[in-house]
Amino acid sequence: MSTARQITEDELNARRSRTVVWVVTISTIGLIFDGYDLVVYGAVVSTFLKDPTQIGEVTPALAGTLGSYALIGTLVGALLAGSVGDIVGRRKVMLTAYAWFSVGMLVTALVSNSTMFGVMRFVTGLGVGALVATTGALVAEIAPAGKKNLCNAITYSGVPIGSLLSALLAIMLLDSIGWRGMFMIGASPLLVLLPLAIFRMPESVAWLVSRGKIDQARALSERTGVPLPEAPTAAQEAAKREKVGFAGLFSRGYWLPTILLGFMSASALMLVYALNTWLPVLMEGAGFNTKGSLSFLLVLNGGAIVGALIGSRVADRFGPKPVVVASFVIGAGAMLLMTLSLPLALLLIFVSIVGLGTSGTQILIYGFTAGYYPTPMRGAGVAWCAGFGRLGGVAGPLLGGFLLAAGLAVSTIFFVLAGIGMVGALITLLVQRPNRPMEIHSTPIEPSAAATS
């Protein structure tokens, strides 16, 4: 092989590495603000419960309802983005989502009553859902083979990082800037992240090929170093017959796994949002002060990040399904142990393990789903996971509010949540790989004449 050709291949590899780093970095930052947006409410809800001068009188039941509005918006936004993203591309949807939820957070900070607060939480949730649903598809299509679960885990770790950041900033700043200042922080991507993404976030090469835009895909592949998909004739013909978007999700061979993946995600997200909304209140009920209770959110989401990153490496080697099952079971066991009278240090350890079994599990589920579907329906698949799963997310804050309003003991509430985790593990065991032709492979494009001259 000639020296010039070797240099060209090295340059293509270097370009791909830079592209992967940029995409994963921007996507992670986007989901940090995404996670901040959805969890900041849990960090300030105690303010609403205690002070009716903020947005009016808020009861525990109304607080649970308000907490669900953003998740309803997320559900709608994710499902819409799934179809739109498979048709117009990943990049356009993600850029729109960055702008949308930033403006939504800013307007939310300015409202003065619970009705408008709920409306704006729904509107903001539309952008949040679109971003969560589209990010996994783009990252899965750009990440190298053998590192797709890891790249997805790094990216979706942005959600618990944002949750952690929300709790940390609430501890440090809530007394001085109030809940309105906390929401204004969530609007900052409009000034920082969006301009960066416009210049550095490429479209998916695989998506361009799936839409028949071969020339654009070839040019983008050479510029970014991301391999141009190629496949044997049989696989190409199968790809042409593959239904696009949500129609593909419910076609023969996919409909049952699609339903199971939706309920699997719903189980995890019910736990995620029940705990991120109500854990501080539960721990106050267990005798901790406000700042100490918020600290449990830090530990919960820190455990999710570490657990998901470790789990993703195992998933890349052995497959994501057994890892997701194990995460559900481990998290449920940790919740049961939290019902015991434990020293603080041991309690914090179990809270971090609960983070693995809730937010950490959901991160792994996104990677599982992104790798499960072929390119023509991948965006819709991740959108279904994020969107239908938000039914569980909507139910989480409502469930917590209902259980608290019913006067149940903190230990009883943890028993209920542990049971939901075990249901999630059982659903995951039922998911089977569908019978379909071999997936399209990715191979490096041939360098252009200009590149080798």
For strands 441-443 and 228-230, give the pairing.
antiparallel
How much of the chain, in percent, has pLDDT values that exceed 70?
88
For residue 442, give the H/E element and its range: strand 441-443
pLDDT of residue 23: 93
Higher pLDDT, 259 or 287: 259
pLDDT of residue 106: 94
pLDDT of residue 245: 64
Q: How many helices (H) and strands (E) does the chain have?
A: 19, 2
The pLDDT tens digits for 158-197 are 887 887 788 788 888 888 999 999 999 999 999 989 999 9
Q: Compute the average pLDDT of residues 27-52.
A: 85
Cα 421 to Cα 87: distance, rounded to the nearest angstrom: 35
Cα 104 to Cα 69: distance, rounded to the nearest angstrom: 13
pLDDT interval class at 37 (50, 70, 90): confident
DSSP tag of 445 = P
pLDDT of residue 185: 93
Task: List C-alpha distances in Å: 92 to 89, 135, 203.
Answer: 6, 11, 8
Higher pLDDT, 42 or 266: 266
Could you tell me if 221 and 142 are in contact, meaning their C-beta atoms sit under 8 angstroms apart? no
Is pLDDT at 118 greater than 80 in this prediction?
yes
Higher pLDDT, 326 or 1: 326
Domains of the chain and any CATH numbers: 7-433 (1.20.1250.20)
For residue 368, give the H/E element and its range: helix 361-372
Could you tell me if 341 and 390 are in contact, meaning their C-beta atoms sit under 8 angstroms apart? no
Could you tell me if 397 and 304 are in contact, meaning their C-beta atoms sit under 8 angstroms apart? no
Least confident of 125-139, 156-170, 257-271, 426-440: 426-440
What is the gyration radius of the CA atoms in the chain, in angstroms? 22
Least confident of 58-62, 98-102, 176-180: 58-62
Q: Compute the average pLDDT of residues 310-327.
A: 89
Q: Compute the average pLDDT of residues 1-8.
A: 47
Strands of 211-319 (E only): list them. 228-230
Strands of 237-306 (E only): list them. none
pLDDT of residue 289: 62
Task: Pull the structure tokens for residue 317.
Answer: 């080697």
Q: Compute the average pLDDT of residues 66-72.
A: 81
pLDDT of residue 231: 47
240 C-beta neighbours (distance < 10 Å), count: 10
Residue 279, judged by CB atoms within 10 A of its CB (0-12, 13-18, 19+), counts as buried
Least confident of 42-46, 308-312, 315-319, 413-417: 42-46
Cα 10 to Cα 306: distance, rounded to the nearest angstrom: 33
pLDDT interval class at 1 (50, 70, 90): very low
pLDDT of residue 396: 85
Question: With the CA atoms of 24, 306, 260 and 368 taken in that order, what torsion angle do they form, in degrees rounded to the nearest 10?
Answer: 40
Could you tell me if 49 and 58 are in contact, meaning their C-beta atoms sit under 8 angstroms apart? yes
Strand partners, 229: 442
Calculate the average pLDDT of the chain: 82
Task: Pull the structure tokens for residue 229.
Answer: 């998909």
Q: How far is CA 81 from the centre of its chain?
A: 14
Backbone angles phi, psi at 54, to 5 degrees: -80, -65
Task: Pull the structure tokens for residue 355.
Answer: 């983070």
Is pLDDT at 340 greater than 80 in this prediction?
yes
* Burial profile 392-431: b = 16 or more Cβ within 10 angstroms, e = fewer: bbbbbbbbbbebbeeeeebeebbbebbebbbbbbebbeeb
For tokens 């994963």, what's the residue? Answer: 24
Q: Which of 1, 335, 36 is nearest to 158 (CA)?
A: 36
Cα 363 to Cα 324: distance, rounded to the nearest angstrom: 9
Could you tell me if 334 and 354 are in contact, meaning their C-beta atoms sit under 8 angstroms apart? yes
pLDDT interval class at 127 (50, 70, 90): very high
Least confident of 26-30, 34-38, 409-413, 417-421: 34-38
pLDDT of residue 243: 61
Strand partners, 442: 229
